[in-house]
C-alpha cells in the first residue's frame, strides 16, 4: 500500500502538533518517523491510523482519500506501545477476536490465527494469558494480532520501548523481516536513532511538527541537511566557521583551529558565508594521516574495552573535539595528539 500525506496539520487547542506535513511512503517500504519527544511523531501515526482527526490536509492510501474514515475502515493495523492485549483472553483468543468480529467461518479463523502465530514463533503460547508471558512474548503476540487481519500497512508506535536492550536488538531485525516477508508498508515511530538507522528503508526526522529531512539512513547520517539533524541522528562535533574558498571538488573553511578542507559546500553557498562543520567522533583518527591535521592536547579518556572515547582540545583555537579510537592504545591524558580528518568526513552545514 502506498501512503501519501498531503499538507497535514493537527492542532490541539493552540498547540500545533503537526505543521503542514507532506510525505510519500512507497508500497512495501519500512518508513521511520524519528524525532525528539513532543515533535509530533505519535500524532502523525495516530492520524494515519484514524485515531486522531487532522485539522487540515489529506491522507491517501493507494490514492484513495481515507482522511475521514474510522480506524476499522482503513486497512491499517496499529501496534501500541503498551501492546493493549485483552488480559482475560488467551493468546489464541486475542488473535481470533478481530476475525470473529468480522463473522468469519471458524475453520478459516483457526487457519489465519495459526499462520500468524507461526510467523512470530509463538505457537507454543496459544493457551497462555498475557500475564503469563514475558515482555518479549507479549510483544510478539501484539505483532501477530495485527498481522492476522492481513493489513495493508502496519503502524508501530515505539513497539520495543518496554523491552530490555538485548531483546530490543534481537527484535529489530525480526520486525523488519516480518514487514518484508508479508510485503507490508510499515510506519514506525521511535526516538531511538539506532533503531531507525538499523531498520529503516527511509527516515523522516521531525522537529516541532515539521519535517526536517527525509532520506535513507545513510543519507541522514552522512549528509544531514542541518545542525539539528546532524546532532540528532548521531554524536557529532559542531564547529563554527566561514567559507574562505570554493574550488571544483573542495571547499576551504576558516575556523578558530585553522583552515580545514572539506569536500562539498552546501548548495548556493558562497565565499564569506558563515557555516557549521559537523565532524563525527569516528571520523577523527590518531593514526591515519589526512589533509586536515590538528595538533591537540588530550583532556579526557573513557576506556570502554573495544573502543576509547576521548576529548581533546586543539592547540590553536582551543576547540574541544570528541573522538573515538577503536582497539585503543592511547591513554595519556595531558599528552600530545595529532587529530587527522579526511575532507569527505567534514560536513559543511548552513549556519
Q: Which of residues 185-214 bind ligand ATP (CB under 6 A)?
A: 191
Instruction: Out of 21, 35, 221, 328, point to the residue binding ligand ATP (CB under 6 A).
Output: 35
Q: Is 37 in the site for ligand ATP (CB under 6 A)?
A: yes
Q: Is 40 in the site for ligand ATP (CB under 6 A)?
A: yes
- DSSP H helices in the chain: 41-49, 91-101, 106-119, 135-147, 165-181, 193-199, 217-222, 227-233
Instruction: Out of 8, 17, 78, 212, point to the residue binding ligand ATP (CB under 6 A).
Output: 17
Q: Which residues contact 253 (CB under 8 A, 6 or more apart)?
A: 241, 242, 243, 244, 259, 260, 261, 262, 275, 277, 346, 348
Instruction: Out of 7, 15, 22, 150, point to the residue binding ligand ATP (CB under 6 A).
Output: 15
Helix axes 135-147, 91-101, angle to 10 degrees: 20
Q: Is 54 in the site for ligand ATP (CB under 6 A)?
A: no
- Is residue 261 a contact partner of residue 292, using CB atoms and an 8 Å limit? yes
Nearer to ligand ATP, 83 or 92 (CB): 83
Residues near ligand ATP (CB under 6 A), total: 12
Instruction: Out of 38, 57, 71, 343, point to the residue binding ligand ATP (CB under 6 A).
Output: 38
The window from 33-41, 92-100, 145-153, 310-318 that contacts ligand ATP (CB under 6 A) reads: 33-41
Q: Is 49 in the site for ligand ATP (CB under 6 A)?
A: no
Smallest distance, ligand ATP to C-beta of residue 295, A: 42
Q: Is 217 in the site for ligand ATP (CB under 6 A)?
A: no
Give whole-number Cα distances, 77 to 43, 103, 313, in Å. 16, 18, 51
Instruction: Out of 5, 8, 29, 42, point to the residue binding ligand ATP (CB under 6 A).
Output: 42
Q: Is 14 in the site for ligand ATP (CB under 6 A)?
A: no
Give whole-number Cα distances, 19 to 23, 40, 208, 292, in Å. 12, 9, 8, 41
2 DSSP β-pair partners: none
Angle (nearest 5°) at CA 292 between 288 and 293 = 70
Q: Is 41 in the site for ligand ATP (CB under 6 A)?
A: yes
The window from 32-40, 60-68, 99-107, 259-267 that contacts ligand ATP (CB under 6 A) reads: 32-40
Question: How many other β-carbons are positioned within 10 Å of the β-carbon of residue 26?
Answer: 12
Q: Give the full edge-to-edge strand order of the sheet including 3-12.
A: 15-25, 3-12, 56-61, 64-65
Q: Is 136 in the site for ligand ATP (CB under 6 A)?
A: no
Residues written for the chain: 351
The window from 12-20, 145-153, 255-263, 266-274 that contacts ligand ATP (CB under 6 A) reads: 12-20
Q: How far apart are CA 71 and CA 39, in angstroms?
A: 23
The window from 1-9, 34-42, 136-144, 241-249 that contacts ligand ATP (CB under 6 A) reads: 34-42
Q: Which residues bind ligand ATP (CB under 6 A)?
A: 12, 15, 17, 35, 37-43, 191
Amino acid at each position: 500500500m502506498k501512503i501519501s500525506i498531503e499538507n497535514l496539520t493537527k492542532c490541539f487547542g493552540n498547540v500545533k502538533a503537526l505543521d503542514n506535513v507532506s510525505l510519500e511512503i512507497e508500497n512495501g517500504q519500512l518508513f521511520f518517523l524519528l524525532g525528539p519527544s513532543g515533535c509530533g511523531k505519535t500524532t502523525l501515526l495516530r492520524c494515519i491510523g484514524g485515531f486522531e482527526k487532522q485539522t487540515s490536509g489529506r491522507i491517501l492510501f493507494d490514492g484513495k482519500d481515507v482522511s475521514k474514515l474510522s480506524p476499522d475502515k482503513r486497512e491499517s493495523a496499529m501496534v501500541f506501545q503498551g501492546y493493549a492485549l485483552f488480559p482475560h483472553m488467551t493468546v489464541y483468543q486475542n488473535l481470533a477476536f478481530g476475525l470473529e468480529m468480522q463473522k468469519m467461518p471458524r475453520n478459516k479463523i483457526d487457519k489465519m490465527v495459526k499462520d500468524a502465530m507461526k510467523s512470530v514463533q509463538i505457537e507454543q503460547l496459544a493457551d497462555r494469558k498475557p500475564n503469563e508471558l514475558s515482555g518479549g512474548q507479549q510483544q510478539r503476540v501484539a505483532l501477530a494480532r495485527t498481522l492476522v487481519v492481513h493489513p495493508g500497512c502496519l503502524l508501530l508506535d515505539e513497539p520495543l520501548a518496554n523491552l530490555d536492550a538485548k531483546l530490543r536488538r534481537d527484535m529489530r531485525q525480526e520486525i523488519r523481516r516480518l514487514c518484508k516477508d508479508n510485503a507490508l508498508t510499515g510506519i514506525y515511530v521511535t526516538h531511538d536513532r539506532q533503531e531507525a538507522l538499523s531498520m529503516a528503508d527511509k527516515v523522516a526526522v521531525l522537529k516541532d511538527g515539521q519535517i526536517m529531512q527525509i532520506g535513507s539512513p545513510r543519507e541522514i547520517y552522512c549528509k544531514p541537511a542541518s545542525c539539528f539533524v546532524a546532532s540528532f541522528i548521531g554524536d557529532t562535533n559542531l564547529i563554527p566557521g566561514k567559507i574562505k574558498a570554493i574550488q571544483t571538488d573542495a571547499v576551504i573553511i576558516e575556523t578558530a583551529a585553522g583552515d580545514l578542507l572539506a569536500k562539498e559546500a552546501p548548495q548556493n553557498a558562497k565565499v564569506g558565508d558563515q557555516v557549521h562543520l559537523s565532524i563525527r567522533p569516528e571520523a577523527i583518527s590518531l593514526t591515519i594521516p589526512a589533509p586536515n591535521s590538528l595538533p591537540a592536547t588530550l583532556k579526557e579518556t573513557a576506556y570502554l574495552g573495544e573502543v576509547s572515547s576521548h576529548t581533546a582540545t586543539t592547540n590553536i583555537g582551543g576547540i574541544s573535539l570528541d573522538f573515538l579510537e577503536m582497539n585503543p592504545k592511547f591513554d595519556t591524558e595531558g599528552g600530545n595528539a595529532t587529530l587527522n580528518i579526511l575532507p569527505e568526513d567534514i560536513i559543511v552545514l548552513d549556519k
